[in-house]
Each structure stands twice: as structure tokens, then as C-alpha cells.
Structure 1
Amino acid sequence: MRVVVTATRASRCAALLLFFTMLWAAPPGRAEGLTGLDAERLMRAVVGVSAVAPPDTQSSRNLGTEREGSGIVIDGSGLILTIGYTVMEASEIRVTTLEGKEYPATLAAYDPVSGLSLLRAGLGFESPWIRLGDSKAVSEGDALLALSGGKARSAAAVKVVGKREFAGYWEYLLDEALFTFPPIRAFNGAALVDSGGRLIGVGSLLVAQAMEGRGLPGNMFVPVSALEPILADLLAYGKRQEPARPWLGVTLREEQGRLVVERVSPRGPAESAGVRPGDQIVGVGGQRFSGLADFYRKLWGLGPAGVVVPLELLRGATLAPVSVPSADRVRFLRLNPTL
């Protein structure tokens, strides 16, 4: 059953947002609070995003064929920013406004480096938009708002509890990500907004350890600083205009200083080269590494996509050198044919 957001519910959402902004006082030493925001405009600028992907696509194996999330309107022409995995390889994308109106949308750009995507809403779509803010100016302890759209629409006051690098097991690395507490459940594509009503980050993950060294759950947001240098490229070409990073097609788990291969992408570079689940990577390009992030940096430092990557694998008690001809990750995805 489809949930329709009525005008009455929209008013309640706006009231809820105002309640949170008044409840969540700014931390000592900060001049800015979260009161005085245009609550209704912010809520209307965050839309629901639903996507359907064919079952034979790579992403459907891990993400499923039907996906729900949020998107953030960032200009007056219907340009919507969201997290890429929600719409990756989708054959159908729809966006839903606060009032419950649905519009078709198309994938305008996908960037595997930042993990962000841009959508373009269809004819007739109208919405206020959120201006991009300065995520680099955000500090730990700052009070922000997390806004989600669609069926799980919500508004929550959160605090920044971490600004640090994030390494994902799917060959993904952010030099600096934003971590917030308390956790929100409708995180993918959610908007992280500052006291001036500007967009600071895009929701990506629920994490078990938002604050480093403590078992405090929260969310990871991709900062808008990851979008700004490539926005012109994404709008003009649908992707960033720089050589693609070498991609192996492995899912990794960090274990006692070694990286264990949990899965390999079917027909991907690693599988074709003979890398198997259970292999432990202990060296890359003739170098040792100190963890997942260091491994990625050494891997990507070997050259662009297509470079042959010498891996040193541990299989049981045996060291096995394997050379993997890397690839461009995007070429293995069934994206919008216009990209």
C-alpha cells in the first residue's frame, strides 16, 4: 500500500521539525542555534526516492531490486542529490513530494568515488531547494538537522560526533566523512542541514561506531565538499572528468592487519584472475599496508583503471602472487544509457 503524505501530515512534520530545533540547544561556546529555520521549506525540499532495478544487475544481488530512500532538491530545475546505491542500475526511478505527488525521474550522474548521484525530476515537478553549505566549517559538537523524505519522512536533531576518514569494504574511501548521533533509520539520501538551512551532507550509512573508540551507533554522511569540485563535470558529462581508479571487484574484511576477501564480483577482474573468497591480501604492488584505507591508497597509486595490480595473497600457509588486470568499476554497471 502506498503512503500518501497529506497537507495535514506535512504540517505535523513541520511542527515536529520546529519542536526538535527548539529542544536541541546549541552546545556551549557556539553562537548558532537551530531555531529560526524555514521548517516548511526544508521539509518540502527533501523528497522520497523509490527505484526498481532489474534482478540480473550487479547491485541487485546486494541491494535488492526495490529500494527506498530520500533525495535533496538542490536547484530550481528539479535537480536532486541522493546517495548513489539507492538508484544504481535502476530501470525506474520515482520521486515523491511532501504533498504525496509522484514524478518520474532519470539518473543524471553517478560518481563511484564520492558515492553520490544526481537525479532529474520529470515534467511538472516543483519544489523549493536547499543551498549547498560548507561542510568543512562543521566541527564536532555542532547541532544539525537530519531530514528524510518519502514513506519514512522524519526530522531529527543530531550532533556531529566525528569527522574522519571512512573506508568501506566495497573499494570505497572518503578522506573525511561526517558522523552523527543519535542514529536515524531512514538514512540513505537524508539531508544533513546546518543552522542556516544549508545542506552539509548526504546520508549514507548506519554505523555501529559513530564516535571513534566508543561503541556509539550513529550515521555516516557524505559531506557536500565531496560534490562541489565535480558538480560541473557531473552536470555536463554525467561523471567526473578524470581517469577512473583501478577496480578489483572484491568485498573485503579487515582482520588482524590483513584483508580477507569475503566475496568477488562475478566476471570481475579479481575473479577472472583467480582471486577467491577466503584469500588474505597481505601486499599490493610490492608494498605492505597498514589497513583498509592504506591498501586503497596504495592500490589507486599504481595508476588508472586498466593497470595490472600485483597482489600478494595468503592461502592457508602459502603466499601466492596474483596479477589482476584492473578495470573501471562503472563499466561493469548497467547505468542509464545516457551516461
Structure 2
Amino acid sequence: MGLSKGTTKLVLFIGVSLLLGFFIGNLTDFSVRRLNPFSKLGNSLVSQISFADVADRVNPSVVSVVSTKILDLNQVHEGFEFWSPLKPEENGKRKSLGFGSGFVVDGRGLILTNEHVIDDARHVTVRLFDGQEYPAELLGTDEQTDLAVIKINPKARLEPVRLGDSDRVRVGDWVMAMGNPYNYDHTVTVGIISAKNRKIDDNPFERYIQTDAAINFGNSGGPLFNTRGEVVAINTAISTKGRGIGFAIPINLAKEVVHQIEEHGRVVRGFLGLRPEPITEDHAKVLHLASTQGILVTEVDPNTAAERSGIRRYDVITEINGKPVPDKDDFFRKIAQTPPGTTIRLKGIRDQKPIEFDAIVRERPPLNQAVLRPRQLEANPDRTPELTEGQMG
């Protein structure tokens, strides 16, 4: 039996409506998918950045460091008591408690922290994850890198952290900070690597990792973990100019410091006895240099390896042992990494002519003996050692 015209129109209308509805529905779904490109990745992304398992695993390896210092009354500033409580002491002095963090690098009780956490402390106490407290012995410090190694004698072997490779850290990687901010021990914060090779002072050994993971007073010396639970840096400083800007010492730098302190009780570095400065465009024009690569010698200390080798003021050094010297920091690091007693070959330019000479590297003297024209930089509330410029290399 045939369909009437009215029935045919109705069926056709319904068919077109269904087809149109199907098309619009798929278009809407397509639009939603385009507006939410991570809809399928949401759950997996969240699970990837969860640090719950990492925190559980590393908690026993992170410690709180409490230092006791004796201050004169005129050393106490308004607001200081908030983060460093004062207690009575004889002879008109006050006992100050400073809070920091650290982590176990050897199961026998070796702990890595910041030098400024324990600097000038009369007593240092380490509090473990289970609440046990032990007096700490100072094995050695390195003011140049703001690192210190302390030791406790635990009742049982401790669980050391796993050390990662900070050279493989990438900007955008997720990281987790753990420490003792304001004496709230084992506080966890999460963020990303914001930048690498940051400098906050005129210190050639500074190549900080920047992170936006929350770092507060007391986090100093604590570990910065990657998603595998490996320490990639040591939380050290914060910017006073804004939030979410923290700085951490790369763990690869700390590895060598720990090794030397274990072996020598201090860090041994090479030293020539000259002051290097960057070569500016103006320097290049005046000295008729083809480039700004290298360093300009602006001072030569008497009775040093530099003077004995024949280096003069205003010499330009461009190579050390056949390797180019791109800038001042690189020069410092190359000399510092050279064992004392080693003979090195230096190449450069003097009066527009090539020069080269041999120098026997000596051991670097203590920091305050290896600088000229010291100056006090603006104090950072979470890191306030006296810093200097114009260091001798």
C-alpha cells in the first residue's frame, strides 16, 4: 500500500531531522573535544604527577636540623623571634634556635645540609622522621657552595636518599620539595623546574636550579626530588621580590663537595691568584681583540702562581690546556677543578700578540683570604651568609 503525500512529507521531515540531529550532535561533540584536548589524558596526567608514593618512600631519609646559636642582645632584630625563638642565657645574651632541613646521604649517619643552616651554631640537633633526636658533629663545610656535611650516630642504620643527575633535569619537569619550614617537619610542596643555571650573586660556583615549589624559612638544606624519588637539588634560597621563586643547588655539584669533605674534611680547589673580569665590547675595542671570549686579568696577587708564571695585569687569557675559556665563571671553575700541584698551559693575548705560559696551580686559600674589596650584599631572609665580589681565581 502506498503512502499518502502527507505521510511521505512527515517521514521525510523526520528523516532529515534525525540526520540533522546526528550531524549537530557530532559537531557539538567535536567542538567539546577541541575545547578540551586533555579530556582523555586527565586521569593519567594526574596520576603521573602524584608524589604520594615518592613521599612515603623518602620520608625516612629527610631530617630536620635545629641549630642553637648564642646572640648578643644588639644582634636581635624585630621580627627575628618569629622564626628563631629566643631563650634566656647568662651574661645578657640570648639563645636562638634556628630551623633547617637535611637528608641522609650515607646510612652510617652522614647528612647533607646548607652551610648557613649550621654556621656559627653552638649545638646542632638532628630530628629523624620517627621523632628520635641526635646531637650532630660537623664534618666539614664549603662556604663557596653553601654546603655542609654533618654526622650523627644513630641506633640503627639509616636509609639514604638516591642521588639523581641534575644535568638531566629539564625546565618543566615536576619536582617535590620536602623539609622543615617554620619547624613543621616533613612538609611536602610540589612544583616544576622553572629555569636552570641561575645566579643570584657574583659567585662563579652558583648555577642554581630555579623552582616554583614552595620554599619557606626552614626548607634550607632540604632535598628537591624528581618524580622517581631521586634528589636533584638542595633547596637553598628564596627571592624576596616575589612568590614562587626558589633556588636549589644542583646535586651534581654537591656530590663532589660531599666526596671531598669525607676524604679531606674540607673542599680542596685550585687557585692561581689573579682577578679575572669579563671582556666587554669596550675592552675588545681598546685592546684590539677580535672577540669578547676569554677573561681580562685586572689584578695579580703577589707571591702567587699567577705572578710566578709571568701573568701580568691586562693580559687576556683565552685557553686553559687547549680548551677555550668563554667567560669568567668558566675560568673560575676550570681552575678550581684542577688539583693543586698540577701544571697547566695558558694561552692568551698581550699587546695584540699571542702569549702562552705554564702555571703550577696552588690550593685555594680560605674565602676571606681570596677576595679583594669585599662588600655586603642585600640580605636574604632565608640565606644570609656574607658574600663578596671581585673574587680571585
TM range (shorter): 0.5 to 0.7
2:66 aligned partner: 50
1:14-54 CA distances to partner (integer Å, 9 max, x unpaired)? xxxxxxxxx99869xxx964557343231121111011234
Which whole-Å CA distance do the structure 1 matches of 2:179 and 2:370 have between them? 42
Structure 1 residues 44, 89: closer, same or farther in 2, change over 3 A? same
Residue 131 (str. 1) matches residue 147 (str. 2): no
Distance 1:24 1:125 in 2: 41
Total equivalences in the alignment = 243
> What is the distance in 1 between the residues matched to 2:125 and 2:330?
36
CA displacement, residues 206-225 of structure 1 (integer Å, 9 cap, x when unaligned): 1146xxxxx66421001111
Which residue pairs with 2:114 in the alignment? 83
Q: How many angstroms does 1:77 deviate by?
A: 0.7
Partner in structure 2 of residue 231 of structure 1: 258
1:175-222 Cα distance to aligned partner (Å, 9 max, x none): 42111114321421121001111111111111146xxxxx66421001
Q: CA 1:243–1:127 in 2, change beyond 3 Å: closer, same or farther?
A: same
Alignment of 1:291-330 (within 5 A): 304-305=364-365
After superposition, give the CA deviation of every residue in 1:206-252 in whole Å (9 maximum; x if it has no partner): 1146xxxxx6642100111112233321102111122469799xxxx
TM-score by length of 2: 0.51
Task: Return the alpha-carbon distance in structure 1 between the equivalents of residues 121 and 365 of structure 2.
Answer: 24
In 1, the alpha carbon distance for the partners of 2:128 and 2:97 equals 19
Which of 182, 186, 190 aligns to 1:157? It is 190
Residues 24 and 157, structure 1, Cα contact 8 Å, conserved in 2: no
Q: State the superposition RMSD in angstroms.
A: 4.3
1:256-313 CA-partner distances (Å, limit 9, x unpaired): xxxxxxxxxxxxxxxxxxxxxxxxxxx95367xxxxxx888899989844888776x9
Q: Structure 1 residues 81, 99: CA separation in 2 closer, same or farther (over 3 Å shift)?
A: same
SS in 2 for 1:174: coil
Distance in 2 (CA, whole Å) between partners of 1:105 and 1:121 is 5
Contact 2:215–2:235 under 8 Å retained in 1: no
Structure 2 CA distance for partners of 1:123 and 1:113, relative to 1, 3 Å: same
1:201 matched to 2:217? The reply is no
Residue 80 to residue 237, structure 1, CA distance change in 2 (3 Å): same
Give the letter for the 2:193 counterpart.
Answer: V
Equivalences for residues 108-147 of structure 1 within 5 A? 108-124=139-155, 126-147=157-178
For structure 2, which runs of at least 5 residues remain unmatched after alignment? 1-41, 85-94, 276-296, 300-312, 315-326, 336-360, 376-390
Where in structure 1 are there 5+ consecutive unaligned residues? 1-22, 210-214, 249-282, 288-293, 314-325, 329-339
Report if aligned partners of 2:193, 2:212 keep a CA contact under 8 Å in 1.
Answer: yes
Larger radius of gyration: 2
Amino acid in the other structure paired with 1:238: G
Aligned counterparts of 2:237 and 2:372: Cα–Cα separation in 1: 31
